Each structure stands twice: as structure tokens, then as C-alpha cells.
Amino acid sequence: MSERPCCGCPLCRIETELLTEFLDSYRLENCRKILASAPELAAFSGLGPLLAHLRLCRDARSTDGILRALLQAKPILADGTAERIVLLAFLPHMHAAVRLVLRRYPQLSPEDASQNVLYSLLRFLDSDQLQRRRDYLGFAIARRVKRAAFEWAEHELRSLVLEPTADALDLNGNHDSFERLVLLRHFLDRAVRRGVLNADELDLLIQFKLENGSNGDPPDAHSNAHRQRLKRLVLKLRRLAATRSVPRKPL
């Protein structure tokens, strides 16, 4: 976990708010109580040195003891002080995960992406999976946050591109926004790369879309075989959009 500059994004604003909270005498006193609750935490004179160690230290054995002590300190104070400390420690990593997601999916909302990683981290802190883990706690938390960020992004992308209940795959629609067409092409290209569609099927879908957006009818608009093939392709893509991920082509 590394330090990062403040860029004014939602996570940076949350970090500023949390650090400001710890200037309050109530939260500061609770932080002292948590630091005194375990030898691994008592080694730090305050919140600043603790966060610096967690963010910069690459020794898993050292951070494991600290993170385990913080998790065990959660019941000591039910006001969320321990959770806030862990959240502050992993904010640089969450920030990096959100930046990666938004770089790949720029159409998604930074606010929504930030809320997702915050929720994912807090939920994982309460999970049995983390409680049972004995080593590499920091690695497990960081990996879970990044994975959850991309799982959320792909789910959002499928919802934007192909919503079966909203007839998002209506190839006869003439009012598609530019962004929606870009998203649709992205989804179709992924389907081709992973073997769900072949190149001929992709060309057929694009040709049908373009021809129906023109003033004339497609040459074989009245061909039943042509219509049935398009219908099967659309149904295949709708089923694909409803699944967890695009299946990879077997090796």
C-alpha cells in the first residue's frame, strides 16, 4: 500500500473527512484506546505512524499482526473507530482500484465506483473468510477490493448495454445514443474475442442495424431464415447479458 496525492475525487474527499474526524477529542480518545488494546498497536504513538506503516510496509508478517489486532478491536468500541482506521489504511489501494476501473470503463460514475469499493471493504472486514484467515491479511483485503470493483463494473456495463427487460437489444431502434452504441459495440467485440459470436454473426448484426437505420429496407428483410437467424443471435446475447460473465472459448 503506497501513498498518493490528493486529487479531489470522492475517495480523496472521504479521506479528508475521516482524518478531520480524528482531530476531534472524542474520536482521538477512542483511537488511543484501540492503540492500547494490543501490543502490536501499542508500538505506535498515534494514528499517523500507524497509517504510514500499514501503507508503506511490505512485510506481511508485520502488517498481519496489526490488522488482526485492529479487527479484534472492533467490538471494544462499537462506534466504528477501528473500521475507520482500516479504511484509511486501504484508501490508497481503493483509489488505485477505482482509477483502473474508470480507465477501462470511463462511462461509469466515479461516485458509484467509490461507494462500491467502500462497501466491499467494510463487508469483507465482517466476513467469515477474513476472520478465518491467519496470514497475508493485507493482501487478501486489497485483492478482494480490486476484484469487487471490477465485478461491479462489469455488472454495471451489462446493465447499461443489454437490459433484457428494457429491450436494450432492439436492433430496430433508431434513437440509440452515441454512448449506448459504443457500449454495445464493446460488448459485441468481447463476445467475438471469447468465442460467443463469430465474425460473420457480428457482421450480420451490424449490417442489420445499419440497414434498418436507413431509408430503405434490407435486401432480404422478408426472408424468414434471415429473421430467424437474427432472432437466435439476439436471444443468445440476451442470455449472455444475464449471466455473471462472458464464457471463455475452451482451449
Question: What integer is the mean pLDDT of 53-73?
Answer: 92
Q: Which residue has the higher pLDDT, 87 or 242?
A: 87
Q: Which residue has the higher pLDDT, 198 or 220?
A: 198
pLDDT digits (tens, 9 = 90+) for 27-48: 999 999 999 999 999 999 999 9
Q: Check residue 51 and report its DSSP letter.
A: H
- Alpha-helical regions (H) of 73-195: 81-104, 110-125, 128-132, 137-161, 178-193
Q: Are 10 and 60 in contact (CB under 8 A)?
A: no
Residues 6 or more apart from 246 whose CB is under 8 A from it?
190, 191, 194, 196, 240
Question: What integer is the mean pLDDT of 235-244?
Answer: 66
Percent of the chain topping pLDDT 70: 72
Q: Which helix (H) or strand (E) holds 203?
A: helix 199-212
pLDDT at 250 over 90: no
Single-letter amino acid, residue 92: P
pLDDT digits (tens, 9 = 90+) for 162-197: 444 334 444 444 445 555 555 666 667 777 776 777
pLDDT at 224 over 80: no
Residue 77 confidence (pLDDT): 76
d(CA 156, CA 142): 21
pLDDT at 235 over 60: yes
Cα dist from 20 to 25, 77, 162, whole Å: 11, 19, 42
∠ CA 139-142-8 to the nearest 5 degrees?
145
Residue 4 confidence (pLDDT): 52
pLDDT digits (tens, 9 = 90+) for 81-129: 999 999 999 999 999 999 999 998 888 889 989 999 999 999 999 899 9
Residue 242 confidence (pLDDT): 61
